[in-house]
Amino acid sequence: MRAFKEVMSWVIPVIIGLLIALLINQFFHFVRVDGPSMQPNLQNNERVVCYRHEKIHRGNVIVFDANGVDPQVSKKTDYVKRVIGLPGDTVKSQNGKLYVNGKEVNQDYISQVQRNQGTGNWTLKSISKRNNWLSHNGATKVPAGEYFVLGDHRSVSNDGRYWGFVPQNKVTGVVKVGFWNRKQPARNNVNNQWQHYFK
């Protein structure tokens, strides 16, 4: 009996710990940002939290599995990008300005230089034809059940301008920057940008 109690004294905490870990994993996922594509708001090797069941808005930063999205990726790989267009949206870029459904997007989260030099001039139709997206060649709107994403550091970001749309079933969740990031503007640009998406 004493031996049983001793065994249970360490088995029960282990089981409780595993259950807590499983529960946390159902709602949260910790991700390491890889590369400079989300600068200046997220830095290379920065750790962020991904909320798995959060509703996706325009302007949210999301994590998704790029395997099957980016043709250059052949195994599970987390990409971190910003949602520009929701299903059914039209998107275009002209002279450093982004337009979604004809409305100008508030891009205060990046500099004027990044907007002008990095984003380019295009519409969904022009980039889908230029890059020969086989399933969406000549697309004029974001397809149902998919998202159009860009990196914040547009001049270096490998994003939707090159390989197309992100299916909803590839999305892990919405990124939130934790208290450990002391740069308040960067936190707001990731955590709250969707609340003032249009100018």
**Looking at the annotation, which residues are catalytic?**
37, 81
What type of residue sits at position 74? S
Q: Is the preceding peptide bond at 40 cis, omega within 30 degrees of 0? A: yes
Q: Which long-range contacts (CB under 8 A, 24 or more apart) does 100-108 make?
A: 100/58, 100/197, 100/198, 103/198, 103/199, 104/198, 104/199, 105/58, 105/197, 105/198, 105/199, 106/196, 106/197, 106/198, 106/199, 108/189
For residues 31 and 78, the answer to whether their CB atoms sit within 8 Å is yes
- Degrees to nearest 5, angle at CA 143 with 66 and 175: 45
What type of residue sits at position 65? D
As given in the structure block, the two tokens for residue 177 are: 């920057």
